[in-house]
Structure 1
């Protein structure tokens, strides 16, 4: 079983039973994304693909801010060389790597909970939009700000569109509009809105206790089904869903869950 590193340069990891807390740790730049931070996140989610002992990942930012997007200083200093004839532009290659990470996070078998305060801007907004559950403070700020500095929200836009629909994504992307928590809740970006950091911690614990009640493999299989909705014909999705139902029913969780129900006790996974 692959293990996480003892220490990361731009992340803080904390394990608590079946929960993994992942904190973006570049508070001096509002947890802006640079190659180190993205690389470490990618390494963590690569390990998570095969870890069934972890059923929920909690993402938040150090210093009271979730993530203010790409580190623009790093971006400005990068890619001074033009592509060679016949080669793909290295900027496009670099940009697509961030999309690959978002795909990985979007499809991870664990439940991903984003706890957001401060800012979730640009790339940070994209990370928020691939979470399964989002808890945001009223004062948190959000934006797809890329077009305001002359670039394209290329890798985050498809995930935002899946989250809130194409019309709303067009509005946010083509105006670079900034908005707060109440609008994030209205748009469906956030699932819970809380007044401050203390309330964020309390709501997070409440949500985690709800997730504790759910069987981890059943959650992973359910996520696989839901992720196919809208991208495959309905009949194919239902066929896939039936196979996942059979997989779960013949697996150990269903037997434990049914016994626990009959014996009027919590299932094993709810108390681990």
Structure 2
């Protein structure tokens, strides 16, 4: 059986590549369960500095697995609606992905439909090829993008999200970059490898602990009263200064690289995301 998600860790970066060619990397419940485990691993292991999500075979993800929808409809409702339960399972994964305290890169080549587009919107950096295609495709099936809506709104704003959802409009890579869904565009898959390497090298210059602390701090902005947030942030700052910051400041003064600096090139990225055994 084909492994639905190829996972490799290189230089502290977790590469997770969807690899279900028969369904164009559809997000079936078992695939979502694997992705949730990967996110939990990245969250718990302080040695992991970033997560890269990508799809094999020229497709990021076709979204939900429409092929198993009927089975859910045919199941006994009982005390819990199985359709709602499966849908909510994906939402739990989306929340874990969006709040992961390390940088998340979504590298999109080909279609990113429905839940696939939602995953991209939950990432911190979205890189794509010109062949990328994004759409909130659910409404064309008579359903709604229920669990991804908050994350799409967070990335694109309510007005654009409404437009995309109410019309089923598709955005290619160029259009997606123009509206801010994509941060940087590559001409093709090889160029995408190069972009991923560039962004991972940028992330590799930053203190891993500082990145985790900063991402968590940003997540609280707008959710916590400012004075309380800043009180907490001052203690976080002091803790960083006394740990990782000691090395960072010493490196700056001595005009050398900090010990945590890592670099990537396209070859490393390509190998890490290969579906070959």
- What is the aligned counterpart of 1:105 among 97, 112, 119? 97
- 1-structure distance, mates of 2:201, 2:90: 31
Q: Does 1:131 align with 2:158?
A: no
Q: Is 1:225–1:240's contact at 8 Å kept on the other side of the alignment?
A: no
- 2-structure distance, mates of 1:239, 1:151: 44
**Where do residues 2-151 of structure 1 align in structure 2 (5 Å cutoff)?**
9-84=3-78, 87-151=79-143
**Shift, 1:197, TM fit:** 1.1
Which structure exhibits the higher relative contact order, with contacts defined as CA atoms closer than 8 Å and separated by 6 or more residues? 2
- What is the aligned counterpart of 1:269 among 260, 268, 272? 260
Question: Structure 2: which 5+ residue stretches go unaligned?
Answer: 264-277
**Shift, 1:150, TM fit:** 0.7
- 1-structure distance, mates of 2:262, 2:31: 33
Q: Which residue of 2 aligns with 1:238?
A: 230
Question: Structure 1: which 5+ residue stretches go unaligned?
Answer: 1-6
**Shift, 1:8, TM fit:** 8.0
Provide the TM-score with structure 2 as the length reference. 0.90
- 1-structure distance, mates of 2:108, 2:5: 16
Q: Which residue of 2 aligns with 1:194?
A: 186
| Deviation sequence 1:174-231 (CA, Å, 0-9, x none) | 1111111122112211110111111111111111111110111100111011112333
**Shift, 1:133, TM fit:** 0.7
- 1-structure distance, mates of 2:128, 2:70: 30
Aligned residues: 263
Q: Which residue of 2 aligns with 1:4?
A: none
- 1-structure distance, mates of 2:130, 2:109: 8
Q: Which residue of 1 aligns with 2:272?
A: none
**Which stretch of structure 1 is more off in the superposition, 182-191 or 241-250?**
241-250
Q: Is 1:8–1:40's contact at 8 Å kept on the other side of the alignment?
A: no
**Shift, 1:97, TM fit:** 1.1
Q: Is 2:49–2:208's contact at 8 Å kept on the other side of the alignment?
A: yes
Provide the TM-score with structure 1 as the length reference. 0.91
Q: Which residue of 1 aligns with 2:248?
A: 257
